[in-house]
Amino acid sequence: MKDGVNRDYRQAYTAIRNSTLFTEKDRNYLLTREIQRIANTFSQTDFLKYFALYAQDVTDSVVVNSIKDKYALQFEEKSRETNTLVLMSKDKKQLDFEDLKKQYAGKVVYVDFWASWCGPCREAMPQSVQLKEALKDHDVVFLYFSMDKSFDVWRKASAKEGIDSYPETI
């Protein structure tokens, strides 16, 4: 971040938050831009810290709720409480990895880790879909775990790759 080109979006957020130069509308817009950059760049801990400020700073609850919905994956608390991997299904239900393992115990499980921003992952997706089709008469469970931070980006990429109809798309 100290290369002279990239900015620390946390510092930018704080500067905008403390500035008296902006109208409320402009300030809300700029803070929304920065909170999204923080979500996409920094840790979950940093995002949650700044989102708490954001929820106080931005007066438009529709905008705040849309950010909360967009980054719903960042708000899962179960993994911090139980120290286990918690996933979110396409219908925004939290799934504990331990429960998922129990659900598919005794079965062959194919796990595909991917992300909307991962070119090689997306390039390999058609072969994974073909494999699923080829093994449809066998007792094989295909799990697609996305590493995306944004729920909307993940959902759109899942649809584009043709895996959004699979119940195991997580």
19 with 61, same domain? yes
Domain finish residue from 75, 110, 125: 75
For residue 51, give Cα distances in angstroms to 9, 30, 168.
Answer: 13, 14, 30
For residue 55, give Cα distances in angstroms to 18, 45, 71, 95, 127.
Answer: 15, 15, 13, 26, 43
pLDDT at 51: 93
Q: Which domain holds residue 105?
A: 80-161
pLDDT at 1: 46
Q: Is residue 135 part of a domain?
A: yes
**Mind listing the pLDDT tens digit of every residue in the chain (170 residues)?**
455 566 789 999 999 999 999 999 999 999 999 999 998 888 888 999 999 999 999 988 899 988 888 787 676 665 455 556 666 667 777 777 777 888 888 888 888 888 888 889 889 888 988 898 899 889 888 888 887 777 788 888 888 888 877 665 55
pLDDT at 149: 74
For 138, residues 6+ apart whose C-beta sits below 8 A from its C-beta are 108
Cβ proximity of 121 and 111 under 8 Å: no
84 with 157, same domain? yes
Give 168's strand partners.
Answer: none
For residue 8, give Cα distances in angstroms to 4, 13, 44, 53, 157.
Answer: 10, 9, 15, 17, 28
Number of domains making up the chain:
2
Q: Is residue 4 part of a domain?
A: no
Q: Is residue 168 part of a domain?
A: no
